[in-house]
Structure 1
Amino acid sequence: MYSKVCMFGLLIIIIIFFSGCSFKSDTILKNNTYTVQGYYGDTIILITPTTKVGGFTSFFSTNGITAAEYNQQLIQEGKNNCTLINGTYFGLLSGGFQPAGTITLYLGLHNKQIIPSTIDPSLDQNLKTLVQYNSINNTVVFDKDNNIIRGIQFYAGPMIITNNTINPNLSTNTSHRNGKYPRTFLVQDYHNKTILGITTKKVSLTELGEKLKELFPSEKTSVINLDGGPSTTLYNEYMSFNITDEKLPLWFSICE
């Protein structure tokens, strides 16, 4: 694994600028589609599509699928060297877990409304933030105070950073919001492009917000907590982290 990393590092020098600020990277893994970069001693890993168009692909199923099953499905589709990250917290299908985000804070993909976001569809009226991701051009848009009926893709919330301002309520004693847990998050950078990230160490949302604001200093940057809790899975050819055998309803992937 390390020889592959070194080879890629020798062949390719990657400099990514966000408002004139370059990232501090401990590890860079690269193929033709994306980079995987580790920061702060590998506490934060960011997945960044490098192509001008196209980005992450998503898989959604009400019955769920495991990481291994999804990876095998991608291989059968002729895709190679895929990175997978979970889009929902573990245990969504079995119930019994209240995430840090409100139960009706969901992400919508491709502007599609799929199935009811709660057992009682009337509760969908409680949406506070709607996040829409478009994999064609790898853009994400955060809209505030949207009401949507029967619109679900996956848990998202709370907002960690909005227009470069850290959410002052991140320490609220609500479920997994104020404690230290591994996190999964989605960044909207100053170009309105999407960056997917996880933490490999337990951090509070406040700590994560401070580190991400340092990495993304642009006044237009926004970040949302992706899965609502400590459900962080990453898998690719070079590394894996906290792999789960649970069938999850949504995954992000990016492949060669």
Structure 2
Amino acid sequence: MSLLELRHLSVTLRGRPVLQAVSLDVGAGEFVGLIGPNGAGKTTLMRGALGLIEEVDGHSSLAALSPDARARAAAWMPQAREIAWPVTVETLVSLGRLPHGRKAGPADRAAVDAAIARMGLEPLRHRTATRLSGGEQARTLIARALAQETPLLMADEPTAGLDPSHQIATMEVFAGLARDGHGVLMSLHDLGLAARHCTRVVVVAGGGVMADGPPAAVLTDDLLAQAFHISAFHAETPDGSVFQPLRVIR
């Protein structure tokens, strides 16, 4: 089942073409890692897919929906993590339930409790969100997106700024959502996390999709040299894939 369909999506920002004729599908059960060099257009691709950019040509199944329907179809976690109001963690996470109606019921409370538990935030439930550390705030905002309980979750670098333990835990949460039948589209820069946890990797470079497929098939020596100008070590171990960038190729 396709949860996101992009057909020939092109985006222009401030008169500069960023993406040209991108076609992409994300289905139920997929954990898609969106990778690429800085400035390649990963964030732009997701924002364009959500209808958050005006200068877009082509088709996005999400952008074609009404705002209310879109909020029930996809949860969005942007890269910016500013928490503006001094509300509790529980209150902030509960904002993820707004697309389902303003009168909270048992299903809403259960969704909030599950999201808080999944992100390990129970000890912080009654803390003021603006007083949390940066990593704790990031986990709270992920929990808010989880509480939205949408078929598709889109996240822009959600592991940035987290310590290694919480990076791995967050990737495991998203991988678990995919196993449960959700679709996940996440941009990230850590190729090791992408290789280990994603079911599929999409490389954005040069204004379009350079490669798309299982991590082992995509993260080849030739592609790494072409897209990132690096070499890397890759091995399959009893504990899963190990992928470590090694050096810049001049």
- The answer to whether the superposition gives a TM-score over 0.5 is no
TM-score normalised over the length of structure 1: 0.29
TM-score normalised over the length of structure 2: 0.29
**Which of 1 and 2 has higher RCO (CA within 8 Å, sep 6+)?**
1
Structure in which a larger fraction of residues adopt helix: 2
